[in-house]
């Protein structure tokens, strides 16, 4: 005979009174939905990375002067973004740098460093004059 919480031995009545409550039904297992949700987030994250990254083009390091300055003056630079003295940008057409190296990959992406002695106002005026974004 089973004991209750007070230690008494209680037998259920023939009509079912005194029977212990049936165990609560287990909640539906939600891990499958969670796995699908996490998988969807990973796919969206991976897809956004592919959209943001411009393929497999390498970013080449070019000298500021004369290469970058002459490229701006010739209208070959489409856009730039700068952080401190570092400029990263995009050429309007793919270039090979160094141009004499046939193994150098074609790319539109470049980076350069502005010399500390260079006048920032002069650089800004040059970029604006040649409509570099």
SS (H, E, C) the chain: CCECCCCCECCCCCCCCCCCCCCCCCCCCCHHHHHHHHHHHHHHHHHHHHHHCCCCCCEEECCHHHHHHHHHHCCCEEEEEEECCEEEEEEEEEEECCCCCCCCCEEEEEEEECCCCCCHHHHHHHHHHCCCC
pLDDT band (50, 70, 90) for residue 50: low
pLDDT band (50, 70, 90) for residue 52: low
pTM of the predicted protein model: 0.54
All structural domains of the chain: 59-129 (3.30.720.210)
The whole-number pLDDT of residue 2 equals: 58
The whole-number pLDDT of residue 48 equals: 67
pLDDT surpassing 80 at residue 56 = no
| Averaged pLDDT of the chain | 80
Q: What percent of the chain has pLDDT over 70?
A: 83
Span 65-86, average pLDDT: 87
pLDDT surpassing 70 at residue 51 = no
pLDDT surpassing 60 at residue 1 = no
């Amino acid at each position: 005979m089973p004991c209750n919480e007070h230690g008494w031995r209680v037998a259920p009545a023939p009509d079912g009174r005194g029977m212990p409550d049936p165990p609560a039904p287990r909640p539906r297992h939600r891990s499958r939905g969670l796995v699908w949700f996490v998988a969807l987030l990973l796919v969206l994250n991976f897809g956004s990375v592919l959209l943001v990254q411009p393929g497999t083009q390498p970013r080449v390091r070019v000298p500021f002067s004369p290469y970058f300055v002459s490229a701006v003056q010739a209208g070959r630079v489409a856009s730039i973004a700068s952080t401190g003295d570092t400029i990263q940008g995009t050429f309007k057409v793919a270039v090979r740098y160094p141009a004499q190296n046939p193994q150098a990959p074609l790319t539109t992406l470049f980076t350069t460093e502005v010399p500390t002695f260079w006048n920032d106002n002069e650089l800004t005026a040059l970029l604006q004059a040649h409509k570099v974004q």
